[in-house]
């Protein structure tokens, strides 16, 4: 009964959410609120909670698959307990309105009075931050990218209280605790894992940080700073540092390609592994490309993947333009889509049609992303001219900066600690910005160009803080996991060097991965990773992969002390 009803109501809710994010207007926001309330009333009904608890009391005699379903049903109920319908309804409305504010926001480069004389899209900001060598222009663009903060700050503070109130109803210490519970972990365990990860990567991160400080000071003709000014980096949050290694810059390979080609090429990677082509409905119903400049429609500009009917209706929302970043993001999103397709099979009940955990879901497409930046693959599909040589160390350096090591202090450090304090410690709104920048300084060694007072909310500019709350450690775990999976596939299946390999067309690697994906959440994730790779989750595979870089960086940095403090 639960699985059937849930599937129907979730489909209505997903359809409404899809419309609300792809065509932002009041009517669609209202429809989303209505549909989400319907789903919440079912998932959190007293009947569902009481029955599930009763069944779970007989846990010893329950088959594993039933136990896992009931566990998930109760976690979903905790998101909207029917015992506090007023609070649940307020939370749903606040979520929808705040998301609409963010998704419909116009970034403004030049204001004329209250009106915007010159708007700029997130893609344009990102492109300019990647390319511009003019620091004054960079600072201006960076500041424009933070315009959503003040608009979202009050809403985030209210939503935090509502999310926490909801989570406390079924006994969770905070909304952060409820989200972590999905891993079967306590908050303390999750924070320990994150802190250990940051520590493990610190020596390498410090070398990268020093190398980058020196490199950028030279580029912008400045003194070498202690911390890196945020507007020096080619990413709005300094979560990855692209565009620093000229000898390994692959961006030009994608310029001038039609945007459709970018997504189709990503699909080709998956089909080459023996996975099925994307369903026709994916191409018909997805919203994949950047809007035309004169479009009246507003849409969310952050990439996402959707499992609309928890069955065959899979879609992605993106704003693809032809560059290396969207090439990577397209692989990432299709990783989610292939996961949906693999576990939508009769062996996986509807409520277990999820990743082995959320980090597994985030890891799949990024794993294929590692494979899709290998020179032998790029050459094989004719992207990289045969005579263009790429230096292995420079490639490794670029990968550490824009797709691996640099991301960990942001995800496991700044983001996770900010959300931990926001929810678990009820951080007061008048400290949101102060704390955000303290964490960025401590974990990332990044600082703003000029003081950012509490009139700003720079954390609020990160999509996930608004609409994917208390889950960013998913990505940190996914980054560890993707190197563990990559290490296993290259060494054990392909018998190739992890740094120089080609999975493209390898059906055995594809089958190994598909088998994991088609289990959905029917098995314990710790057991799964142990069974399939022989290891527990750890940073070892990532550190091994980047080991050759450490020696190179120490030499390049002239043996100077690398710590920024």
Q: Which residues bind ligand X8Z (CB under 6 A)?
A: 239, 303-304, 329, 332, 475
- If the CB atoms of residues 16 and 317 are measured against ligand X8Z, the closer one turns out to be 317
Find out whether 525 and 357 touch, Cβ atoms under 8 Å: yes
Q: Are strands 107-112 and 115-120 parallel, antiparallel or unpaired?
A: antiparallel
Three-class SS state of 312: coil
- If the CB atoms of residues 9 and 305 are measured against ligand X8Z, the closer one turns out to be 305
Which does residue 79 bind out of Zn ion, ligand X8Z, none, counting CB within 5 to 8 angstroms by kind? Answer: none
Which does residue 146 bind out of ligand X8Z, Zn ion, none, counting CB within 5 to 8 angstroms by kind? Answer: none
Beta carbons within 8 Å of 218's beta carbon, 6+ residues apart = none
Could you identify the residue written with the tokens 């597994």? 360
- If the CB atoms of residues 200 and 362 are measured against Zn ion, the closer one turns out to be 362
Shortest distance in whole angstroms from residue 332 CB to Zn ion:
6
Which does residue 303 bind out of Zn ion, ligand X8Z, none, counting CB within 5 to 8 angstroms by kind? Answer: ligand X8Z
Site stretch for Zn ion (CB under 5 A), options 125-133, 285-293, 354-362, 378-386? 354-362
Shortest distance in whole angstroms from residue 202 CB to ligand X8Z:
20
The rounded distance, in Å, linking the Cα atoms of 428 and 426 is: 6
Which does residue 174 bind out of Zn ion, ligand X8Z, none, counting CB within 5 to 8 angstroms by kind? Answer: none
- If the CB atoms of residues 324 and 475 are measured against ligand X8Z, the closer one turns out to be 475
- If the CB atoms of residues 329 and 374 are measured against ligand X8Z, the closer one turns out to be 329
The rounded distance, in Å, linking the Cα atoms of 119 and 99 is: 20
Identify the DSSP state of 410.
I
Could you identify the residue written with the tokens 């998301």? 99
Shortest distance in whole angstroms from residue 148 CB to ligand X8Z:
15
Shortest distance in whole angstroms from residue 15 CB to Zn ion:
21
Shortest distance in whole angstroms from residue 167 CB to ligand X8Z:
22
Which does residue 329 bind out of Zn ion, ligand X8Z, none, counting CB within 5 to 8 angstroms by kind? Answer: ligand X8Z
Angle of the 416-423 helix axis to the 187-219 helix axis, nearest 10? 130
Shortest distance in whole angstroms from residue 497 CB to ligand X8Z:
25
Q: Which of residues 355-394 bind Zn ion (CB under 5 A)?
A: 362
The edge-to-edge listing of strands for the beta sheet with 304-307 is 287-289, 314-320, 304-307
- If the CB atoms of residues 107 and 475 are measured against ligand X8Z, the closer one turns out to be 475
- If the CB atoms of residues 290 and 329 are measured against ligand X8Z, the closer one turns out to be 329
Q: How many helices (DSSP H) and strands (DSSP E) are in the chain? A: 24, 7
Q: Are strands 304-307 and 314-320 parallel, antiparallel or unpaired?
A: antiparallel
Shortest distance in whole angstroms from residue 366 CB to ligand X8Z:
7
Find out whether 237 and 410 touch, Cβ atoms under 8 Å: yes
Q: Which residue is nearest to Zn ion (CB)?
A: 362
Which does residue 207 bind out of Zn ion, ligand X8Z, none, counting CB within 5 to 8 angstroms by kind? Answer: none
Which does residue 304 bind out of ligand X8Z, Zn ion, none, counting CB within 5 to 8 angstroms by kind? Answer: ligand X8Z
- If the CB atoms of residues 168 and 300 are measured against Zn ion, the closer one turns out to be 300
Shortest distance in whole angstroms from residue 332 CB to ligand X8Z:
5
Shortest distance in whole angstroms from residue 234 CB to ligand X8Z:
14
- If the CB atoms of residues 126 and 362 are measured against Zn ion, the closer one turns out to be 362
Q: Got the DSSP string for 31-88?
A: HHHHHHHHHHHHHT-HHHHHHHHHHHHTGGGS-HHHHHHHHHHHHHHTTS-TT-HHHH
E strands in 283-357: 287-289, 304-307, 314-320
Shortest distance in whole angstroms from residue 362 CB to Zn ion:
5
The rounded distance, in Å, linking the Cα atoms of 362 and 478 is: 6
Identify the DSSP state of 237.
T
Burial of 104 (0-12, 13-18, 19+ CB in 10 A): middle
What are the angstrom distances between the C-alpha of 264 and each of 240, 274, 282, 459, 515? Answer: 25, 15, 12, 34, 23
Q: What residues pair up with 317 in beta bridges, in sequence order?
A: 287, 304
Q: Which residue is nearest to ligand X8Z (CB)?
A: 303
Which does residue 475 bind out of ligand X8Z, Zn ion, none, counting CB within 5 to 8 angstroms by kind? Answer: ligand X8Z
- If the CB atoms of residues 48 and 412 are measured against Zn ion, the closer one turns out to be 412
- Binding positions for Zn ion, rule: CB under 5 A: 362
């Amino acid at each position: 009964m639960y699985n059937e009803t849930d599937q129907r109501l979730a489909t209505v809710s997903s359809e409404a959410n899809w419309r609300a994010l792809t065509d932002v207007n009041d009517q669609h926001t209202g429809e989303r609120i209505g549909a989400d309330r319907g789903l919440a009333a079912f998932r959190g009904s007293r009947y569902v909670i009481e029955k599930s608890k009763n069944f779970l009391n007989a846990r010893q005699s329950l088959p594993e698959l039933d136990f896992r379903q009931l566990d998930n049903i109760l976690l979903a109920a905790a998101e909207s307990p029917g015992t506090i319908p007023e609070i649940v309804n307020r939370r749903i409305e606040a979520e929808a309105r705040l998301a609409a504010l963010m998704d419909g926001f116009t970034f403004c480069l030049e204001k004329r009075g209250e009106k915007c004389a010159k708007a700029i899209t997130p893609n344009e900001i990102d492109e300019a931050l990647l390319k511009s060598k003019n620091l004054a222009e960079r600072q201006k663009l960076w500041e424009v990218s933070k315009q959503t903060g003040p608009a979202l700050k009050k809403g985030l503070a209210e939503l935090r209280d509502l999310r926490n109130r909801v989570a406390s109803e079924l006994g969770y210490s905070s909304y952060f605790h409820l989200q972590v519970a999905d891993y079967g972990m306590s908050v303390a365990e999750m924070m320990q894992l994150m802190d250990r990860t940051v520590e493990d990567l610190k020596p390498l991160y410090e070398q990268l940080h020093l190398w980058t400080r020196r490199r950028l000071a030279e580029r912008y003709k400045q003194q070498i700073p202690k911390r890196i000014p945020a507007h020096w980096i080619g990413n709005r949050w300094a979560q990855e540092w692209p565009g620093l290694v000229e000898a390994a810059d692959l961006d030009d390979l994608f310029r001038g390609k039609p945007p459709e080609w970018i997504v189709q090429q990503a699909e080709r990677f998956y089909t080459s592994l023996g996975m099925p082509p994307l369903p026709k409905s994916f191409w018909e119903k997805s919203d994949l490309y950047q809007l035309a400049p004169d479009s009246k429609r507003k849409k969310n500009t952050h990439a996402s993947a959707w499992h609309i009917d928890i069955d065959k209706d899979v879609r992605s929302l993106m704003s693809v333009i032809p560059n290396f970043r969207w090439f990577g993001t397209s692989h990432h999103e299709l990783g989610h889509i292939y996961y949906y397709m693999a576990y939508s099979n009769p062996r996986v009940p509807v409520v277990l049609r999820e990743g082995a955990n959320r980090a597994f879901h985030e890891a799949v497409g990024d794993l294929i992303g590692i494979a899709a930046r290998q020179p032998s693959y790029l050459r094989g599909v004719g992207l990289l001219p045969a005579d263009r040589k790429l230096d292995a160390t420079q490639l490794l350096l670029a990968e550490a900066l824009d797709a691996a090591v640099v991301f960990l202090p942001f995800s496991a450090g700044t983001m996770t600690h900010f959300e931990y304090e926001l929810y678990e410690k009820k951080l007061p709104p008048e400290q949101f910005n102060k704390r955000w920048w303290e964490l960025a300084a401590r974990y990332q060694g990044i600082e703003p160009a000029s003081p950012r007072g509490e009139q700003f909310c720079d954390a609020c500019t990160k999509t996930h803080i608004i609409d994917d709350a208390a889950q960013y450690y998913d990505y940190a775990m996914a980054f560890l996991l993707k190197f563990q999976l990559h290490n296993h596939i290259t060494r054990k299946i392909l018998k190739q060097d992890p740094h120089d390999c080609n999975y493209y067309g390898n059906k055995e690697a594809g089958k190994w991965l598909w088998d994991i994906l088609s289990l959905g959440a029917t098995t314990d994730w710790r057991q799964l990773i142990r069974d399939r790779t022989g290891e527990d989750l750890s940073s070892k595979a990532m550190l091994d992969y980047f080991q050759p870089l450490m020696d190179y960086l120490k030499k390049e940095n002239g043996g100077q002390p690398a710590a920024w403090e």
